[in-house]
Amino acid sequence: MRFTSLSAAATLAAIATAQTFTDCNPLEKTCPSEPGLPSASYSADFTQGEGAASSWTAATGTNLQYGADGAVFTIAGEGQAPTIASDFNIFFGRFEVTMKAASGTGIVSSIVMESADLDEIDWEFVGGQSGEVQSNFYGKGNTTTYDRAVYHPVADAQNIWHTYGIDWTSERIEFSIDGTVIRTVPYSSAQTVNGQNYPQTPMQLKLGSWAGGASQDEGTVEWAGGKTDFAQGPFTMLVKSVNVMNYNPACQYTYSDNTGSWQSIDVVKSGDSCNAEGAASSAPATQSAVGTATATAQTTVTSAPTVSQSVAPIENTIPTLRTTVTGSSYSVNTASLSVLNSGIPTAATSTAPSSQQTGSATTTRASASTSADTEQSTGAASVNTISAGISLLGLIFATLLV
């Protein structure tokens, strides 16, 4: 595991804007290709020690410990936000993280999938609420849309091991706990504004925790459960393992234009001593890269390509609207969607051929079909809570300028 070299000032800013942070946004300019995962699957067993983190980069100030319970993310004082990020991205696939969330008022544990153009899929755990977990998503960093975050019941997330899954394709996102799907977000829905706000570009995985303290905005602190009393610490999040199923193995992924659509992503299968073959055996046929749908999946690897990258500590956006719905499923409130998103341009559809040659590298495009649907949430819960979020970016700048 490597560490980034962000300055103290840069780290402070990154703590406040982690989910709106990117080294280069391909929606705005031409950016370097994103490193891929050449194998069909990947696993990291953190109970085996630091070697399991060889394909991860740690944010400045992160000092993980390893033991029988896996990787230990510790917050012992103000401003700490231990965070690691995978050195690879995947372009549709399944992430599973087996973990215990941290306890403590104001402490938030996070599983975050994020792309260079700020697509994002999250699990969030608030330390004062061991019996629930929040699922959430964003498209292109847009935090104006209502009704994205949902709270789900879970049995003692702080003391019982659970496996939290995200199965992500161009057609839908499935959130699962211990193998049971509890929420499905279709590509075309009111929440995604018919796909415009649907996460659909190559993502890396980030794991970490952060605290609501004196430096946080009041709204953030309130959402996190209140200000953290560090005298009650340290506060620890435990991650036992990470498993990845890769639906489009690649050496790298390239944005062919500035639309941020999944159709615009080139899947580079070879080059620079890299050769990506196969796809995860359970991947939907329409999600496997063109020309490789029938290839045999590679053996699961425990290491992946390593890269030099800057990792910002994780921090959450602020929920500002809570709508409580009764029943084991919920419907989406769309009253404000058209107004909030009337200025969002429709994403362009790529017309490039599905197979291209770029130098000596082989590139393909993933293919899939999409259909409009209604988001579903299942489980034994009698109450689901839906919330909306606003970015911390403006709030932290306002705080720094006071």
Q: What is the pLDDT of residues 361-374, one digit of tens each?
A: 455 665 444 444 56
Question: Bridge partners of 357?
Answer: 362
Bigger pLDDT: 167 or 60? 167
Q: Is the pLDDT confidence value at 381 over 90?
A: no
Strand 70-75 to 65-67 pairing: antiparallel
Write down the pLDDT at residue 277.
75
Verify whether residue 120 is a known catalytic residue: yes
Contact 297, 289 (CB under 8 A): no
pLDDT average, residue stretch 4-13? 36
The single residue of 124, 171, 315, 375 carrying the catalytic annotation is 124
Grade residue 218 by pLDDT with cuts at 50, 70 and 90. confident
Write down the pLDDT at residue 1.
58
Element (H, E) at 174: strand 172-177
Q: What span, in angstroms and rounded, lies between the C-alpha atoms of 283 and 154?
A: 27
Write down the pLDDT at residue 204.
96
Phi, psi of 218, deg, nearest 5: -60, -40
Write down the pLDDT at residue 22.
72
Contact 133, 154 (CB under 8 A): yes
Q: What span, in angstroms and rounded, lies between the C-alpha atoms of 88 and 35?
A: 5
Q: What span, in angstroms and rounded, lies between the C-alpha atoms of 254 and 199?
A: 16
Contact 272, 38 (CB under 8 A): no
Contact 246, 40 (CB under 8 A): yes
Per-residue tokens: 145? 């849309």
Residues sharing a CB contact under 8 Å with residue 313, sequence separation 6 or more, in sequence order: 11, 14, 15, 18, 59, 61, 62, 81, 82, 83, 208, 210
Per-residue tokens: 164? 């939290």
Write down the pLDDT at residue 141.
84
Write down the pLDDT at residue 299.
39
Grade residue 27 by pLDDT with cuts at 50, 70 and 90. confident
- Range among 247-261, 329-343, 355-369 with highest mean pLDDT value: 247-261
Write down the pLDDT at residue 377.
67
Query: CATH: 3.40.309.10, 2.60.120.380, 3.40.50.720, 2.60.120.200. Which one for 2-401?
Result: 2.60.120.200
Contact 253, 240 (CB under 8 A): no
Q: Is the pLDDT confidence value at 102 over 90?
A: yes
3-state secondary structure 201-258: CCEEEEEEEEECCCCCCHHHHHHHCCCCCHHHCCEEEEEEEEEEEECCCCCEEEECCC
Grade residue 227 by pLDDT with cuts at 50, 70 and 90. confident
What's the burial of 351, exposed, middle or buried (CB within 10 Å: 0-12/13-18/19+)?
exposed
Q: Is the pLDDT confidence value at 232 over 90?
A: yes
Verify whether residue 124 is a known catalytic residue: yes
Grade residue 344 by pLDDT with cuts at 50, 70 and 90. very low
Q: What span, in angstroms and rounded, lies between the C-alpha atoms of 227 and 107?
A: 9
Contact 276, 36 (CB under 8 A): yes
Query: Which residues in 87-171 belong to E strands, given as ranges?
Result: 93-100, 107-115, 120-126, 132-138, 149-153, 162-168
pLDDT average, residue stretch 237-259? 96
pLDDT average, residue stretch 348-368? 42
Domain ranges of the chain: 2-401
Determine what percent of the chain is predicted with pLDDT higher than 70.
62
Question: Bridge partners of 235?
Answer: 75
The single residue of 34, 96, 120, 171 carrying the catalytic annotation is 120
Q: What span, in angstroms and rounded, lies between the C-alpha atoms of 53 and 115?
A: 20
Bigger pLDDT: 331 or 313? 313
Kindly state the greatest CA–CA separation across the chain.
Answer: 59
Q: What is the mean pLDDT of the chain?
A: 74
Q: What span, in angstroms and rounded, lies between the C-alpha atoms of 63 and 75?
A: 10
Output the CA torsion 320→167→38→44 (10° steps).
Answer: 80
Bigger pLDDT: 220 or 148? 148
Write down the pLDDT at residue 273.
80
Element (H, E) at 14: helix 8-17
For residues 158-196, one letter each, b for 16 or more C-beta atoms within 10 angstroms of the residue's C-beta and e for the rest, the string is beeebebbbbbbbbbbbbbbeeeebbbbbbbbbbbbbbb
pLDDT average, residue stretch 43-61? 95
> What sign results for the dihedral spanned by CA atoms 249, 373, 124, 240?
negative
Q: Is the pLDDT confidence value at 228 over 70?
A: yes
Grade residue 254 by pLDDT with cuts at 50, 70 and 90. very high
- Range among 172-186, 216-230, 265-279 with highest mean pLDDT value: 172-186
What's the predicted TM-score (pTM) here? 0.74
Question: What is the Cα gyration radius of the chain?
Answer: 20
